[in-house]
Structure 1
Amino acid sequence: MEEKKWIGADLIFDLDADHIPGADQMSYDEMLARIKIEVLRLVDDFLLGDLGFDVSHLKIVFSGGRGYHIHVHDERVSSLKSHERREIVDYIAGNNLNLDWVFPTKTVNYKEIKGRIQESRVRCIPPKGAGGWKEKMRIGIAWLIEEMRSLDIPDLRSRLPYLAGYSDALIAGMLKDLYEKRGERSGSDMLLEKNIFDCFTNKRYEDLFIGLLEHEIIPRFRCEIDEPVTADIKRLIRLPGSLHGKSGLKVVPMERDDLDGFNPLSDAVPEMYTDKEIEVYLRRNVDITMRGKRITGEGICKVPEYAAMFLIGRREATLEFVENSEQ
Structure 2
Amino acid sequence: MPLDQKVADFVTPLIRKYYSRVKIDVDHLSEREFGFGSFESKITTRHHAFQDKGQLQDYLVANAPPFASCSPSLYERPAARPMEAKGWKGAELVFDLDSNDLHLSCQKEHGSSWVCDNCFTAVKDEALKLIEDFLISDFGFSENEIRINFSGNRGYHIHVISDEVMNLNSKERKEMSDYISGNNIDIEAFFPTINERGAHLDGPKLSDFGWGGRIARGVVGALNSGENSLKLLGIDSTNSRRLVRNKAKVIPGIEAGNWDKVKITKKSEFWNNVITNMTIKQSDAIDKNVTNDTSHILRVPNTLHGDTGLIARKIKSIGALEGFDPMKDALAFSDRTVKIHAISVPKLRVRDVSYGPYKDEDVEVGLAAAVYMMLKRVAVLAED
Residues 174-213 of structure 1 aligned to structure 2 (within 5 Å) = 175=242, 179=246, 188=250, 191-192=253-254, 194-199=256-261, 204-207=265-268, 209-213=270-274
Aligned CA distance change for structure 1 residues 267 and 223 (closer, same or farther; 3 Å): same
Contact 1:8 1:78 in 2 (8 A): yes
Alignment equivalent of 2:371, drawn from 296, 301, 309: 309
Alignment equivalent of 2:178, drawn from 73, 82, 90: 90
Contact 2:303 2:311 in 1 (8 A): yes
Contact 1:282 1:301 in 2 (8 A): yes
Aligned CA distance change for structure 1 residues 234 and 222 (closer, same or farther; 3 Å): closer
SS of 1:8 mapped into structure 2: strand
Distance 2:175 2:254 in 1: 30
AA in 1 matched with 2:294: I
Shift of 1:259: 0.7
Alignment equivalent of 1:6, drawn from 68, 71, 88: 88
Shift of 1:47: 1.1
Distance 2:296 2:233 in 1: 38
Aligned CA distance change for structure 1 residues 295 and 248 (closer, same or farther; 3 Å): same
Contact 2:206 2:217 in 1 (8 A): no
Shift of 1:59: 0.8
AA in 2 matched with 1:305: L
Distance 2:131 2:230 in 1: 32
Aligned CA distance change for structure 1 residues 145 and 313 (closer, same or farther; 3 Å): closer
Indicate the residue corresponding to 1:163 in structure 2: 236
Does residue 53 (structure 1) correspond to residue 53 (structure 2)? The answer is no
Give me the TM-score of the superposition, normalised by structure 2.
0.66
Distance 1:121 1:58 in 2: 44
RMSD across aligned C-alpha pairs, in angstroms? 3.4
Contact 1:162 1:216 in 2 (8 A): no
Does residue 68 (structure 1) correspond to residue 156 (structure 2)? The answer is yes
Contact 2:94 2:159 in 1 (8 A): yes
SS of 2:131 mapped into structure 1: helix
CA shift digits 1:161-184 (9 cap, x unpaired): 4538xxx7xx59x949x949xxxx
Shift of 1:293: 2.3
Distance 1:3 1:193 in 2: 55
Indicate the residue corresponding to 2:116 in structure 1: 29
SS of 2:132 mapped into structure 1: helix
AA in 1 matched with 2:314: P
Shift of 1:305: 1.8
Give me the TM-score of the superposition, normalised by structure 1.
0.76
Shift of 1:240: 0.9
**Structure 1 residue runs without a partner (length 5+):** 109-118, 322-327
Shift of 1:222: 6.1
Contact 2:223 2:229 in 1 (8 A): no
Deviates more, 1:218-227 or 1:49-58: 218-227
Shift of 1:200: 6.3
Indicate the residue corresponding to 1:267 in structure 2: 329
SS of 2:236 mapped into structure 1: helix
Identity level (%)? 28
Residues 76-155 of structure 1 aligned to structure 2 (within 5 Å) = 76-105=164-193, 121-146=199-224
Contact 2:345 2:373 in 1 (8 A): no
Query: Between Structure 1 and Structure 2, how many residues are aligned?
Result: 291
